[in-house]
Structure formats: structure tokens, C-alpha cells
A and B are shown apart, each in its own frame.
Chain A
């Protein structure tokens, strides 16, 4: 391993361990703050290299810091994700068996829905069908709150979708488990929320759509060229000035893989 870890790297890693996910602005702020604090070489455009050093030490431990985009606003986030399930992770006991089962079923609802959201009513109905210990309404509400607090789900107007952090961590799992899940036609990442073309069925993230149609006078589907059926005027613009993603390793790194 070429470069070594310094306290500035360790602090950055601890923040990610503590929060799970942080936005790009916060990541840049901490990069600068910690490098100044520990008198380590700092260059404002070297954040990805800084993180790269941490990752060389993290990957043998089945973790890495990943860069991803929010489906809501296209903003860039950094999340600490697990790369594999091992004996150690099986021991983690944040959630009970029935809570995990509820999460799995909620995720089914979300992924298979058209909007990418599941209503709290539908989730409550799920809790009746659990194979493990049944949950009362209050318990379901409580665990949903926990999922939101721990950033596995996010909530809007009583409906739940997968948090950016969750999509970043479970990306491969989702692709493997849900055969029909759609990828965004523009950025080719998993699309849980998005707009569909009614003619050919392709899906696009809202921020990707906003960016794509910005330069087009008449919004047309990039695949079949039919008029795009949705309103494209008020879509949120992603941060265009930020550099594109650091290349992600799309495969799960198996622990026995030679480095």
C-alpha cells in the first residue's frame, strides 16, 4: 500500500462510520478541516485521492467509501458500505429478525412500485403477513422511524423510499434480487424513483431527466424519440460543476481475492 493513513484520514473515516453517509459539501469541508488540523498536505481537488487511500486499507476489511448520487436532487454523496456479508456482520444486532423481514418486504414494495414509494398503510398491511414474530401497528411505526433515522429509508408525506445510502450499499443485491429492476437510461445506475416513457418503457432519474432535457427545446425520449409525456419544467438541476463519479467496482469484492 503506497500512501499511509494519517489522523486526518482516520477522522474522515470515523465521521463516515458515525453518520453512514455525508454530502459532498460536508466531505470537502472535513477534508480541508482535518488536513489543516493534522498538518497534512491538502489540495482542494484531491478529495477522491484522499478517499482512495482510506479505501486501500478498508477493502481488505470488506468495506469501502463509495461516491453516489441522490435520486431526489442529483447531489453527490459519500457513504461507507459493506462489501460482503461475513461471520462478523451476521452478528450485528441492530434489528430483530421480524424487523429485518419487514424491511425486506418493504423493499420489495418499493422496488416493484412505479413511483418508487411505499405508503405506510401498505407497509402496515405487510406486517400482518410476517413469517416471524408479528408486529403491532405501534411497533411498525417505531421500526420505520428507526430505519429512517439510520438512513436505510427516507420518508416523504407518509410514504417511504430507499435512502441514497441504502441504494449505494445494496446496489448489487437489488440488481441480483429484483430481475426486472430498471436502470436509468442516462446514467445507467439503478433507478428506484424515476420517470417512464409510456411508449418504450425506459426509465430515467428525475435529476438526469432535468439535465438531459435542459438543452432540448422539445423533450423527446432518448430511446424511441416519442414526445416525453411528463412535465420537465420544474425538475431539480444536479450539480453540474462537480466531477463525474470515481469509477466504482461493480462487482462484490470477495475476501479471498488477491490484491
Chain B
């Protein structure tokens, strides 16, 4: 008799043996026998049996697969697949946060029952990060909802916060979900990670398939550990050449989005390769993959290497298996960049693809600068900003808001020495430059949020920001104007009060 409380994987293989050549699975008699003992527990989830194919007779796929295709093939137990196929994929990690968690939980309970259990309590990561430091009652309630669920389901990874007045007294609290996922070792090469947030593609930096989904899909994954996904074709971006000292990964991705537009990668995977990419550290690679969604991309990937493996040392004890694109893999398009020839860029209001050279915007007077978010609030981002302030030695001319992505980043700001500063920390340099004190780690004003969110744009003004989107109203006010930029450019702009190319300050 088939047991009903088994991990989906085991059940899948078990079912496959039983089913043989049958084209669809039907609830077996064993399900009826188990009914009395297993009320309200989801039965093992099994994919419909696939008809077997002998390569010789069907004309097997003659070319190799891209990284994305390989990861999805592995995770759907197929030896080969093609872009365009709709497949059931086994999910390794599901992430949700305080904004979408409650809705996801509502759907999960509605579809699987009030007493249903999640498919795997160790594969769901719940990270409150969006609307945390606010007096908005519903926002606070939403954190309570995900806490209740985490306790009820005995979720292993729930990064709780209870005392909103002082983030430091909450030992479990991390902050921005995508940075926390990386820092806590939940991103691993070869795996499939889904999150209820569009910037989940951030994790592709680790050579995994990572993409954003909505509440309904997430509710489905919560109960089954699987999702129906369409295999995307891959666009290849070859970035070669030595990275100029005034450029950051943010400039590279803004360059690319400006090139292909906000719909240029819709339904596609973006693969980043080349000597420049290899020279980037993990946080810079994350910045690159983070904004894949701004080009409409489904996911982004960077081939894992020593940099990846070193970063993961000590962060995860789960075994992982990196995959790489085959030599003979087919890409839908290829773009080549000589990075040594690129210049700092910004995305002007109101679209991430409204690219312009930073130096061509030097007459744009600004009202504030915001450095934060999953895209531009990591340790490396703040280090970069600090370098510019250090090089200038002057004070900022406009309010400059600093929002570290996570507790770890915040600690780094106050403890790590900035190279070339004679031992000063980022926080000291920021203070000397007259920036605002680094705020409590969260998504902050990147997406506006409740009215009392720190650094929210409540009046129309011009802001240079290291965040990811600048559509109308993104940071709060509908008439606000947001220039997306790298941390170098943001810091340089803060020093002049105008959009400024960082070469004005960097030696």
C-alpha cells in the first residue's frame, strides 16, 4: 500500500514504477484505504507518466542545452528538453515575505485545507523585509500572520522580528529577502528557487534557476513542492574586457537593459558570461542578475566558479551540483560588450531602459540620494559609495539616505575598514560626509511603502537611487523623478547636488 506521507521525490519515483506506460495518474485504491488515517494531508504529488522515447526513433535533440535548460531538465527528471516546453519542476527552495506571505498562506489553506501541512518545512524560507519599521497596523499584522504560520508549520527558516523599535535586539531578523537568502546559504548552484518577489532572479548569480511568482503559484508550491513552468530560451550576454575602476555591475545591467528595452528579455533567460563577469564578486553578480526582471527576463544565470564556491563555504551544508551550458547549446541571441569602453550610465525617469550617460545629465538638479535595496544596498555597494566620499573629502549637498539591506550589511558598515582610508569604516566616512545615519535594514523606500516609511518620497522631487525601478510613483509620489544609478554615481551626485559622473571624484 502506498504511504501517503512521503516526500514528493520518493513518491514520484515510486509512482513512475507503478504507472509504467499509463498516460495519466489516477487516485489509486490505496488512497481510499489511507483515507481514515490521513485526513487533510496532501497525498504525494506525482507527475503524469511520460511516454518513453527512444532517441533513435524520435530524432533526439542534436544540440546541447543551456544552463537554464539543464537546471530545469534536472529538476523535472528529464534528460532533455527544449525551450517552449511546459514542465512540472521540483522546487528546492520557496521564499516569501511579509507582503505576499499572508496571501500565499491564505491560498494554501484554502486549497489544501485549514490543517494542511507544507510540502517540506525545511525548504520554505519566510523573510519579513518589506514593511517592517512602520506603525501601519496592517503591515504589522502581516508580520504576525507569517509568524503564526511559521510556528504552526514548524518552518525551519523564519527570520522573525518582534521589537520594531530596535532591529538589533531581534537576533533572527535579517532584512531584505534576496540578500538574506544569499547570506544564509539558501542559494546554491544547480537548484530551483522561487520567491513571491520579482527580484528573486537575484539568486541566479549562484548559477541556479531563480524567478519570481505570485501568491497562487506560491500557494501551489507550498502544498506540492512543484510548479508548472515553461522552459525559456536563453539570451547570452558576453561581457569582456577589464572593468574600469569607475564602473560597477549596476552600470553593466543598466547598459544592457537600455540596449534591449524593458521587454527585450520577456519570457527569456539571460546568461552572463565573459571575463568581466568572471572578475565580479558575488554581490556584483547579484546586482547583475537582480535587474533581469527589469528587462522582462524570466531568470538570469552566471556560471558558478571558485568565487561562487568560496562564498558558499560555511554558509550551507546542503550538497549542490553546478551545471554549465554545453558547448553546443543553442542561444536565441547573443550580445557582446567590450566593458573597457563603457561609461557610467543612469536610467532616467520613468523607465529602467531610459538609459543615458551620467555625464550627459550633469545639469539635472537633484533633491536627494537613496542608497539601499537588494539591488544597491549590499556591503559592496556601500563600500563603493564610501570610496567616492573618501576620494572627495567633502560633504554631501543633498539629503543622502542609507538603508543597509540586512543586519549583516549594517554590521559591515560599522566594522569593516574601507580600503585606502587608514582604517575608517563606511559608517565613519558616511558621517564625515554628512549622510543620514544608516537606517534599519529593510526594503525601505525602494517601493514607497506605507506613508511613514523612512526616506519615502512624499512630495514630488528628483532622486538618484541605487534601487531597481523608476516607474511613476515607485518611491511614493506619482510625480517623483527617479534616476537609477550605481552606488558610485549616486555618491558622486550627492556631493554635487546634480546627476554626476563618478569620474569627477574617483582618481
Note whether A and B form a binding pair: no
Which of A's residues lie within 8 Å of B, judged by CB?
Answer: none
